Structure 1
Amino acid sequence: MSLSQGGFFSTYSFFSDAAGVAGNLLAFVLFVSPIPTFRRIIRSRSTEQFSGLPYIYALLNCFICLWYGMPIVSSGIILIATVNSVGAIFQLVYIIIFIIYADKERKVPNGIGAILGIIQLVLYFWYSRSSVQASRRPLLESYA
């Protein structure tokens, strides 16, 4: 079959779209799967022995896939951007609930670490921008 006749290409397009929709449905099921855990956390008003790391990792994964699916980065894969934007919202809500119901002994050091991490990122971007502007000047200037 020739690609120009449309037979193979249309079959490929159909199965590609079907796999994309199936992947979105399965990803959505993955994003809503922690709901029973968070219902338990809200009812008991404690995070008990649950770890918040999986939700942070899932949020980072959603942000990376969301960036990859944006039209300015990759064209034609908007399904990836849509499902990961929904996933990022779910993960943010889970993390906020986790922070609200975390024990004080766990919340204070993590809060201090988060604030210091944000300050470190701001300083990095501030100084990296100024160093890029400074590096545009030539290292050696000729006065001849």
Structure 2
Amino acid sequence: MRGPCCIGLALLAAAGAPARADCFEAAGVYHGVNPVILRAIAWQESRFRPDAVNRNANQSVDMGLMQINSIHLPELKRYGVDAKTLYDGCASIYVGAWHLRRKMNKYGNSWAAVGAYHSETPALRDGYAASIVAIIRKWSAQPGGEQWRPPAD
């Protein structure tokens, strides 16, 4: 995990982030995670909506494009990232990449790490990873056009 990542994230957001598509690539490179997986997570979590909000049964809140859970706010605050920042699409992607990198540090470069983005409970983790795999397969099977575009559901 790169501590200064989120300090850089706050500066990136303040300076005017690149277009959202570029953010997946840039965040993936910066955190050493696959940008295709980041895109699939964003699609699964919010359908690419930076204003997405989900209130959970445990009173926590998932926020923004990458649906970052409010339980992470105390740690993110140390890097200058608050709840409002998570509603900026590019900032959310960087924080999502940071979160995925932390799971990869724990589980290795694996589908378990991808699933742990959502939950570390094995059944939920494995189901989530399967959802991400299905999204990527669906996108890669699209005839013509860009390979990693979200499907028109």
Q: TM-score, normalised by structure 1?
A: 0.26
Bigger radius of gyration among the two? 1
- Which structure features the higher share of strand residues? 2
